[in-house]
Structure 1
């Protein structure tokens, strides 16, 4: 096996980045050949962002040498969709032993991430995992222990950081335009199309995705940690399931077979989505997974209403809420400082005349478009004792606001470029983002605030570790 210095290792680790975990060029791991990559978990995110896009954009830097999934039908479709000619495996251990990869990309169900991360590290491979890192504190500690024990790269990151709009907020805060930050108000709205989709899938089950406190909010908590350049210390939260699940007036097994199609506002015709039909519906016989599950099925047990107060180790207090059945999709945030205030938002209908309909918003964000046409999004900088200023930020809509493309390009094409805003995220960042969600769940269950330091052996720092 090719070896590399501790300095090279630390540099490679520092280049971890974004909203998902990220792979790095072979040279970053001390190799002068294409990186041998395998993918475990061939769902839609795995075969697109961590599959097809890497195949198309970086053929000179990496090659897929294996695909693994518990569903042989999805495996066959994934191989065709990604355009690769590598062996496929239902048995993950067999794949690792046979093809001897350099890098394992984990895109399985959230609750199983830790299994493949730990096995991969133990096998002497570097591992890249989709967000979230994992779903509870026990699994998080096991991952931290394994990463320390085996001395391999565990790559986790967050693509939202890399969008120009998010970066502009970071720039203003880092330049102390509003002085020391004292508090934050952060509201995220999932509309009745995108929000409902989580309750159709395995994400609606606590033991599969850890709730949206973990699966979805890990993005938002990482942004907060990054913007504030601090780590969370304590969380107090409220949450309830009041809209989906057993709250519905009727239910069925799936939208396709439901007798209530005409009266259910959440009816979704999956047969009009050829990609979902080929990837999921045509392969239900292998594992029983139903992609268009009923949003009112009784087994749904995650929260659909969530609110938390987060106290940071540097004494900043953040108020956060997540709504899963909003009429519109978007978010807004306000930072209060001793010298002023910053307000930012995206896709709030009354703040911008946007012609994109609500059902198409999420699809547009996820699209890996090659179109680099820029749009402009405003944010407002208020300075105490002076007039406010509207700043127009050149941005994009596709690929998580342009974050996806910038993340991949930074890692694969220009890894040595300066990183003045600290976009690169490490394993500690991945852990701290999910621990806020874990603490929120525990706070709801106990009715008491939860200390982050009580969850794992990580002790919150008032200044994020580089």
Structure 2
């Protein structure tokens, strides 16, 4: 048991920020399982950071507490995760009574900082879902708290761990197209996945920081990791032109809406027992509606977004996010001094196939299963030569296979050297969220935003030097 636990602790040290931490940085001096608490018993918390840990890693860890502001979700979460640990409405009380080693934070984005800081101050290491936080002041407070605590913060970035994204990193690092000079990156959310954000609390800027932060932090982290550099300046455009008050009609929620037979976006949550048990059954406790109207007037985030990002190594990136595309997928192109890399996933007409977008969304949101999907291509162009096609085995579900691999690295193979440096810590969390924060501020001010003005982390041309 002790060897298993030491293995787990060593794995967390590999997920710390850029500073090198000794293997014993997480040595709590205990001979028992790692004591874990989780705050936020929503869909991601109860599944990926809850049930899956119990199912796969109970030999080295145990949940000693769960916390949520909603007592109904808390009760359901305990049953779904499969733990006998006590539950708490009061997070502070949970820390005092359970004395955990590790705090996992999966609450609403705007509250991440509160629980991260409390966990660090209490003397715990903290693992948080992305995004790290939603504004620059909260980011700085987290940075300050980690430095004072002598503890560490892990950010759960999973896209880095997908085989396809890892292969892109490998090709870039090999120097196949020379020095990268510019990037075009475009992400398309379909009318199932994209709409779902506006149906939930993510549609309110004060809660999710807008999709610039909640969703795009994934994409910005990939860029930072692929380019091995920090963002230096951001200029952005964005507006709300499709969802929210732009709709011709609206209702209280989809279940009771008088327009359910005529609205293209009608969503029947009653067909999903898990969501009914987790959310609908517990609306009475906090008023949170999971199948809210996409066209309610309180929505204030952007549904059309475009940004130009200048990196400290002089790479320029053109980025866009579309939230009402007919299909879900993405394209990226890296231009270099010796060629060009083109990569894309799930663009239906690229392979001349018909994809059921509703089923695709369900697969991608599935937390625990993977489905083999043959392979996907990456095109590598060399100046003065024909292009080469690199085939990469690909998986559907769990963020392209990244979810499972992230957990396996933490819990099963922590001591295996990772040449791609996929582990993400506090600096990664700040530098990914801060691009979206800067984009939001640029739209509001009409000016380019310098990253160095937002926190005390200064952009570096090469993050490994």
TM > 0.5 fold call:
yes
Question: Which residue number in structure 2 is paired with residue 252 of structure 1?
Answer: 251
* Paired residues, number: 454
- In structure 2, the CA distance between the partners of 1:369 and 1:12, relative to structure 1 (3 Å rule), is closer
Question: Which residue number in structure 1 is paired with residue 84 of structure 2?
Answer: 85
SS at match of 1:152: coil
Within 5 A, what are the aligned runs for 1:339-378?
339-371=338-370, 373=372, 375-378=374-377
Task: State how far apart, in whole Å, the 1-side matches of 2:199 and 2:212 are.
Answer: 17
Task: State how far apart, in whole Å, the 1-side matches of 2:160 and 2:358 are.
Answer: 25
Within 5 A, what are the aligned runs for 1:224-303?
224-303=223-302
> How far apart are 1:338 and its partner, in Å?
0.5
Whether the aligned pair in 1 keeps the contact of 2:348 and 2:355 (CA below 8 Å) is no
Question: Which residue number in structure 2 is paired with residue 5 of structure 1?
Answer: none
> How far apart are 1:352 and its partner, in Å?
2.1
> How far apart are 1:31 and its partner, in Å?
4.7
SS at match of 1:376: strand
> How far apart are 1:399 and its partner, in Å?
1.2
Q: Does 1:422 align with 2:431?
A: no
SS at match of 1:225: helix
Task: State how far apart, in whole Å, the 1-side matches of 2:366 and 2:120 are.
Answer: 31
Q: Deviations over 1:386-410 (max 9, x none)?
A: 1101111012112111111111111
Task: State how far apart, in whole Å, the 1-side matches of 2:187 and 2:27 are.
Answer: 36
Whether the aligned pair in 2 keeps the contact of 1:26 and 1:35 (CA below 8 Å) is no
Whether the aligned pair in 2 keeps the contact of 1:39 and 1:68 (CA below 8 Å) is yes
SS at match of 1:399: coil
Whether the aligned pair in 2 keeps the contact of 1:25 and 1:412 (CA below 8 Å) is no
Task: State how far apart, in whole Å, the 2-side matches of 1:81 and 1:446 are.
Answer: 45
Whether the aligned pair in 2 keeps the contact of 1:190 and 1:322 (CA below 8 Å) is yes
Whether the aligned pair in 1 keeps the contact of 2:306 and 2:318 (CA below 8 Å) is yes
- In structure 2, the CA distance between the partners of 1:256 and 1:12, relative to structure 1 (3 Å rule), is closer
Within 5 A, what are the aligned runs for 1:17-416?
31-371=30-370, 373=372, 375-416=374-415
- In structure 2, the CA distance between the partners of 1:351 and 1:98, relative to structure 1 (3 Å rule), is same
Task: State how far apart, in whole Å, the 1-side matches of 2:16 and 2:29 are.
Answer: 16
Task: State how far apart, in whole Å, the 1-side matches of 2:25 and 2:229 are.
Answer: 32
Question: Which residue number in structure 1 is paired with residue 5 of structure 2?
Answer: none
Unaligned runs of 5+ in 1: 3-7, 18-23
> How far apart are 1:253 and its partner, in Å?
1.1
Task: State how far apart, in whole Å, the 1-side matches of 2:27 and 2:183 are.
Answer: 37
Whether the aligned pair in 2 keeps the contact of 1:25 and 1:35 (CA below 8 Å) is no
Question: Which residue number in structure 2 is paired with residue 20 of structure 1?
Answer: none
Whether the aligned pair in 2 keeps the contact of 1:245 and 1:299 (CA below 8 Å) is yes
Whether the aligned pair in 2 keeps the contact of 1:237 and 1:307 (CA below 8 Å) is yes
Task: State how far apart, in whole Å, the 2-side matches of 1:366 and 1:31 are.
Answer: 37
Whether the aligned pair in 2 keeps the contact of 1:157 and 1:429 (CA below 8 Å) is no
Q: Using the TM superposition, name which of 298-307 and 416-425 deviates more.
A: 416-425
SS at match of 1:334: strand
- In structure 2, the CA distance between the partners of 1:307 and 1:370, relative to structure 1 (3 Å rule), is closer
Q: TM-score, normalised by structure 2?
A: 0.94
RMSD: 2.0
> How far apart are 1:257 and its partner, in Å?
1.1
